[in-house]
Amino acid sequence: MDWYIGVLKKFADFSGRARRKEFWMFILFSLIISFVLAFIDGLLGMRAANGFGLLSGLYTLAVLVPSIAVAVRRLHDRDMTGWFYLLMLVPLANIALIVIFCLEGTRGSNQYGPDPKGIAG
């Protein structure tokens, strides 16, 4: 849970680097919270005709900027510009982006900052 809270504390910080663990733990907790809120929306009858609920919609809006920020920092860890995140808009290219998120970051410092694992190199 500390990884999730840490990302929310740096909600608009697009500089620096994010480890794989930080990125994927944030994604995991976000998905769990989204499913729980969608379930509550369904129980309370707050789901619209398009399938989206009030609570899950508000949560999605609340974590939109932190999600983009941690993704950009994850790309920085791979020594890539954050603009690569725009590949999410291309239907099949987003699979390549997910693979990039799974790869280990650059060891040692790079142009975006020191290694978040603290490994000198």
To the question of pTM greater than 0.85 for the whole model, the response is yes
**pLDDT for residue 9 is more than 60:** yes
Quick one: how far is CA 29 from the chain centroid?
A: 10
Residue 13: per-residue pLDDT: 87
91 DSSP assignment: T
**pLDDT for residue 91 is more than 90:** no
Computed on alpha carbons and rounded to an integer, the radius of gyration of the chain in Å comes to: 16
- Res. 66 pLDDT band, cuts 50 70 90: very high
User: What is each CA distance from 104 to 12, 28, 118, in whole angstroms?
Assistant: 23, 18, 14
**pLDDT for residue 121 is more than 70:** no
